[in-house]
Chain A
């Protein structure tokens, strides 16, 4: 009697075990199917998009990212992404130390600007020791210095329709130029600077010379290097892939990179 019961239980267990493995396999296959399903992807991406209004609701406009002391800086700040802009025009700028380089500010502005590096250096400066968080998971703490982006945009004067600042860069991935974009809250944030100095040295080519955008409340891919032009736009549609950045277009990283 009890022998019969035991074998019944065992076979039930075995059945359940097989069921678990089967369900596991189905789940895996199912996840990859769902992962490839456009309708379900758009639901997941819609949920991801909620983080932007959620964080905007929780974060004050000017809430500052944590700043660190010099003793807390990374001994070595690694480079990543492109470590140079592989064009003749960029190489020429490097050769004459960016003496003829200018930053273009245009689009939905009252006065388009062409600012030489010396002009950016002469503007009021902000210096900050902040943490750079790569989407991959690593962090490095470094010191950045440059004029506030808000001050430059105020010089140009924004037209009422302007909603995004787009950063056009000198570097390419294959034939696709790097670009990034942020909303105006982030653009006028006190810590949003165009850094031409890093760790008390002129910004190196590896880290984005002559200037790199610092948007301290977002992930590393927003920190555009080799910035050549700031374009003010009312929409991101119609620009390259339309998602507001190189990685957003090419691999689907979230446009709002606060998470």
Chain B
């Protein structure tokens, strides 16, 4: 179907067309320039932060709670190896991670003891200083880009109009209905696809207002220099080693978001979705009843 053309179809609503309201199949503006710019800059930055962060973790693959934590102390999470395979320890639980975490095989076949394997890290082979070089440089990009985007989104009304939950959307019945729609992979169509649904708003809100700010706050709390200025921040987080643990958990949360986000993009129509985040233009998915076979067309099995 030619995009952007108002083609009269038997199933479309003539009154909506007359009023200029877009319907399924129409090409519409979906994402503002600020959203598109930040989305891709942030995607790149978070990827670099994550991969360099995993290398930094490799330097001391143990996490603790509290103000202090070092080798003589008890970690709540540790990635190591034993008996010829990797081991992920969480509390008293020990998971066999095979050749993925804790122990990997190099291309030449030799074994390599490392928490996260080279294909997950920046740089590929062990270098704490190079990983810090990437991490500390892009930390500035992460903070500056998020601040600029949040300020812009307050000014242009993006947060109020698109991201804020409406009064009724927190209602359990409404959320449950949205969860069911997602589980059945029935994504909004027509005009409804222009608005974020409640689960989308919660996911984007969690990233924008919880995970990214928290990953920045906990990262800041790891700096002994900033700690001197911000005693309260370290105390609120429960100590520097707790901050390091929360920093890691936030990163894991962002990975979780990324996985669901990519799955949703693939299920909702990757080309249309990705194009809308690049050019801003989005083709509204057709209303479901418009999918009924046209007269004379046979129903395919």
Using CB atoms and an 8 Å cutoff, list the residues of chain A in contact with chain B: 1-3, 9, 12-13, 16, 20, 27-28, 31-32, 35, 41, 43-45, 47-48, 50-51, 55, 58-60, 63-66, 68, 72-78, 131, 133-141, 216-219, 247, 251-254, 257-259
- B228, A66: Cβ atoms closer than 8 Å: yes
Complex Cα gap A59–B223 (Å): 12
Task: Judge whether B30 is part of the interface by a CB distance below 8 angstroms.
Answer: no
Smallest beta-carbon distance B300→chain A, Å: 4
CB pair B140–A139 under 8 Å, yes or no, is no
The distance from the CB of B286 to the nearest CB of chain A, in whole angstroms, is 12
Contact partners of A139 in chain B: CB under 8 A? 67-70, 240-241
**A47 to B136, Cβ gap below 8 A?**
yes
Q: CB distance A47 to B137 under 8 Å?
A: yes
**Cβ of B271 under 8 Å from chain A:** yes
Q: How far is the CA of A133 from the CA of B57 in the complex (A)?
A: 14
Contact B270 A12 (CB under 8 A): yes
Contact digits for B250-273, partner A, Cβ 8 Å, 1 yes 0 no: 000000000000100010011100
- CB atoms of A55 and B124 under 8 A apart: no
Contact of A59 among B51, B73, B127, B229 (CB under 8 A): B229
- Chain B, 131-171, contact with A by CB distance < 8 Å: what is the 0/1 string? 01110111011000000000000000000000000000000
8 Å CB contact of B129 from A59, A68, A138, A253: A253
| B270 with A13: CB separation less than 8 A | yes
Asked if A140 and B270 make an inter-chain contact with CB atoms under 8 angstroms apart, the answer reads no
Question: B60 near A: Cβ within 8 Å?
Answer: yes
Provide the bound-state CA to CA distance between A1 and B291, in Å: 12
Asked if B213 is at the interface of the complex by the 8 Å CB criterion, the answer is no
Q: Which residue from chain B places its CB closest to the CB of A253 in the assembled complex? A: B129
Measured CA separation A46–B171 after assembly (Å): 50
Tell me whether A252 and B123 are in contact in the complex, defined as CB-CB below 8 angstroms, given that A27-B47, A137-B56 are known contacts. Answer: no
- Count, chain B residues at interface, CB 8 A: 53
Q: Is the CB of A16 within 8 A of B266?
A: yes
- Whether, in the assembled complex, B130 has its beta carbon less than 8 Å from a beta carbon of chain A, the answer is yes
- CB of B225 closer than 8 Å to a CB of A: yes
A26: shortest Cβ distance to chain B, in Å?
13
Q: Total number of A-B contacts with CB less than 8 angstroms?
A: 154
Q: A48-B133, A74-B68, A76-B72 are in contact. Are A136 and B128 (CB under 8 A)?
A: yes
Q: Is there an interface contact between A253 and B70, defined as CB atoms closer than 8 Å?
A: no
> Can you name the residue of chain B whose Cβ is closest to the Cβ of A56?
B225
Q: Known contacts A48-B133, A138-B60; is A75 also within 8 Å of B72 by CB?
A: yes
- Bound-state CA distance A133–B151 (Å) is 34
Q: Residues of A contacting B60 with CB < 8 Å?
A: 134, 136-138
A259 touches B56 (CB 8 A): no
Q: Mark B224-240, 1 if CB is under 8 A from A, else 0.
A: 11111101001000001
Of B124, B128, B134, the contact of A44 (CB 8 Å cutoff) = B134
Contact A50 B140 (CB under 8 A): yes
Do the beta carbons of B132 and A254 come within 8 Å of each other? yes
Instruction: Identify A41's interface contact among B71, B128, B133, B300, CB under 8 A.
Output: B133
Write out the residue numbers on chain A whose beta carbons fall within 8 Å of the beta carbon of B13: none
* Inter-chain contact A78/B71, CB cutoff 8 Å: yes
> Is there contact, CB below 8 Å, between A63 and B228?
yes
What is the CA–CA distance of A257 and B224 in the complex, to the nearest angstrom?
8
Instruction: Select from chain B the residue with minimum beta-carbon distance to A142.
Output: B68
Residues of chain A with a CB closer than 8 A to B244's CB: 137
- Evaluate contact between B73 and A48: CB separation under 8 angstroms: no
Is A55 in contact with B271, judged by CB distance below 8 angstroms? no
Question: B122: CB under 8 A from chain A?
Answer: yes
A152, chain B: closest CB distance, angstroms: 22
A65 to B224, CA, bound (A): 8
Given A139-B68, A259-B223, A259-B225, also A66-B231 (CB < 8 A): yes
B210 an interface residue at 8 Å Cβ cutoff? Answer: no
Are the C-beta atoms of A253 and B132 separated by less than 8 Å? yes
Q: Which residues of B from 269 to 301 have beta carbons under 8 Å from A?
A: 269-271, 297-298, 300-301
Q: Which residues of B contact A141 (CB under 8 A)?
A: 67-68
